[in-house]
Structure 1
């Protein structure tokens, strides 16, 4: 659904049901050309490792659900 940043600047992926932490190495900062960006929402992303969906952006209110490696997340 999108990317939101914590007050400390850590990117989080907004997915159905909550937030997943994003690997900073895979979140590109703005540059001068649009070619480095997705211009449409892919609709789903595949998890590269097991992770969790959390209810808030700071990942402090506990896990909503576990997500296995290779799961497609909307």
Structure 2
């Protein structure tokens, strides 16, 4: 089980619940898709002793079968939806897990403003920006938040 407050990534579709003691269909609030980052505010325990992850929306299972820690240097990556400006010529990719020549989709020029539709994580834990151009690196060396 995860027992410290931290940023985590969902390993599969999971539910947020409104009751730390009862995880059931009646207490489900919202489903979180696989490969989504969640920020854990604190840890609480159910009346039966199960650790629960506290989020802004409710409670999530702390079971490592459902969530895993983000990469250590997650702060070097964009992890929120909005607009980004491309800092140098980059590629978009058609595979979130493999950024390689054979998965390149479109070259994006420096200065381009992209709308981030979502953040998804590769199987190895790297955050990817979901754009209408494909998957783009979330690394702050390549993109900046744009206001």
Q: If the length of structure 2 is used for normalisation, what is the TM-score?
A: 0.23
Q: TM-score, normalised by structure 1?
A: 0.42
Who wins on radius of gyration, i.e. which is larger? 2
- Structure that is richer in strand per residue: 2
Larger RCO, structures 1/2 (Cα 8 Å, 6+ apart) = 1
